Protein backbone atom coordinates (compact mmCIF):
# COMPACT_ATOMS: atom_id res chain seq x y z
CA UNK A 1 0.00 0.00 0.00
CA UNK A 2 1.62 3.25 -1.13
CA UNK A 3 0.27 5.33 1.75
CA UNK A 4 2.72 3.61 4.12
CA UNK A 5 5.80 4.67 2.16
CA UNK A 6 7.93 7.58 3.28
CA UNK A 7 9.38 9.97 0.71
CA UNK A 8 11.81 12.59 1.97
CA UNK A 9 11.04 16.23 1.39
CA UNK A 10 13.33 19.16 2.15
CA UNK A 11 11.54 21.91 4.06
CA UNK A 12 14.34 24.39 4.73
CA UNK A 13 17.97 24.92 3.72
CA UNK A 14 20.82 26.84 5.32
CA UNK A 15 24.16 27.35 3.53
CA UNK A 16 27.54 27.11 5.22
CA UNK A 17 30.66 29.10 4.36
CA UNK A 18 32.28 25.85 3.20
CA UNK A 19 30.00 24.86 0.27
CA UNK A 20 27.80 22.68 2.44
CA UNK A 21 24.04 22.80 2.91
CA UNK A 22 22.11 22.02 6.08
CA UNK A 23 18.85 20.50 4.88
CA UNK A 24 15.85 20.22 7.20
CA UNK A 25 13.70 17.25 6.20
CA UNK A 26 10.10 16.23 6.81
CA UNK A 27 11.19 13.42 9.14
CA UNK A 28 12.52 16.02 11.60
CA UNK A 29 16.18 15.42 10.80
CA UNK A 30 18.85 17.86 9.69
CA UNK A 31 21.21 16.45 7.04
CA UNK A 32 24.53 17.95 5.94
CA UNK A 33 25.06 17.83 2.18
CA UNK A 34 28.63 18.55 1.03
CA UNK A 35 28.46 20.12 -2.43
CA UNK A 36 32.25 20.45 -2.89
CA UNK A 37 32.67 17.14 -4.79
CA UNK A 38 30.17 18.38 -7.41
CA UNK A 39 31.87 21.73 -8.00
CA UNK A 40 33.81 21.25 -11.20
CA UNK A 41 34.44 23.46 -14.20
CA UNK A 42 32.45 22.51 -17.27
CA UNK A 43 29.56 21.03 -15.27
CA UNK A 44 26.11 22.34 -14.42
CA UNK A 45 27.48 23.03 -10.92
CA UNK A 46 30.24 25.39 -12.13
CA UNK A 47 28.31 28.61 -11.29
CA UNK A 48 28.10 27.45 -7.68
CA UNK A 49 31.87 27.59 -7.34
CA UNK A 50 31.36 31.25 -6.42
CA UNK A 51 30.43 31.26 -2.71
CA UNK A 52 28.20 34.31 -3.14
CA UNK A 53 26.17 32.58 -5.88
CA UNK A 54 26.16 29.36 -3.86
CA UNK A 55 24.62 31.11 -0.86
CA UNK A 56 22.39 33.68 -2.57
CA UNK A 57 20.72 31.28 -5.03
CA UNK A 58 20.14 28.45 -2.54
CA UNK A 59 16.44 27.64 -2.12
CA UNK A 60 13.92 24.87 -1.63
CA UNK A 61 12.25 24.11 -4.97
CA UNK A 62 10.01 21.09 -5.51
CA UNK A 63 10.79 19.80 -2.03
CA UNK A 64 14.53 19.57 -2.40
CA UNK A 65 17.82 21.46 -2.21
CA UNK A 66 18.07 23.71 -5.24
CA UNK A 67 19.74 26.82 -6.59
CA UNK A 68 17.36 29.27 -8.23
CA UNK A 69 19.53 30.24 -11.19
CA UNK A 70 16.80 31.86 -13.28
CA UNK A 71 14.86 33.60 -10.52
CA UNK A 72 11.17 33.14 -9.86
CA UNK A 73 11.69 29.64 -8.44
CA UNK A 74 11.21 28.12 -11.88
CA UNK A 75 11.98 24.38 -11.56
CA UNK A 76 13.21 24.38 -15.17
CA UNK A 77 15.81 27.07 -14.41
CA UNK A 78 17.36 25.63 -11.30
CA UNK A 79 20.11 23.26 -10.25
CA UNK A 80 18.70 20.69 -7.86
CA UNK A 81 19.67 17.60 -5.89
CA UNK A 82 17.50 14.48 -5.68
CA UNK A 83 15.83 14.51 -2.24
CA UNK A 84 16.76 10.83 -1.78
CA UNK A 85 20.42 11.81 -2.16
CA UNK A 86 19.96 14.48 0.52
CA UNK A 87 18.18 11.98 2.77
CA UNK A 88 21.14 9.58 2.51
CA UNK A 89 23.53 12.15 4.02
CA UNK A 90 24.57 12.06 7.66
CA UNK A 91 22.29 13.48 10.34
CA UNK A 92 23.83 16.46 12.14
CA UNK A 93 22.83 18.76 14.99
CA UNK A 94 20.71 21.76 14.02
CA UNK A 95 23.18 24.63 13.42
CA UNK A 96 20.46 27.18 14.23
CA UNK A 97 19.61 25.68 17.62
CA UNK A 98 20.33 28.07 20.46
CA UNK A 99 22.34 26.42 23.21
Rounded Cα distance between 59 and 80, Å, is 9
**Domain membership flag for residue 96:** no
**Domain membership flag for residue 95:** no
**Host domain of residue 42:** 9-87
**Domain membership flag for residue 21:** yes
Rounded Cα distance between 2 and 75, Å, is 26
Number of folded domains in the chain? Answer: 1
Q: What's the gap between Cα 75 and its chain centre?
A: 14
How much is the mean pLDDT over the chain? 95
| pLDDT tens profile 6-18 | 999 999 999 999 9
Whether 29 has a pLDDT exceeding 80, the answer reads yes
**Domain membership flag for residue 68:** yes
**Domain membership flag for residue 94:** no
| pLDDT tens profile 72-94 | 999 999 999 999 999 999 999 99
**Domain membership flag for residue 4:** no
**Domain membership flag for residue 2:** no
**Domain membership flag for residue 57:** yes
Query: To 5 degrees, how large is the angle CA 31–CA 63–CA 23?
Result: 15
Looking at residue 2, its pLDDT comes to 56
Amino acid sequence: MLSNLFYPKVLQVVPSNNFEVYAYLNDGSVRLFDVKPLLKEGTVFEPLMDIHTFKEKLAVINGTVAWDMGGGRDPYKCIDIDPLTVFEQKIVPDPLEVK
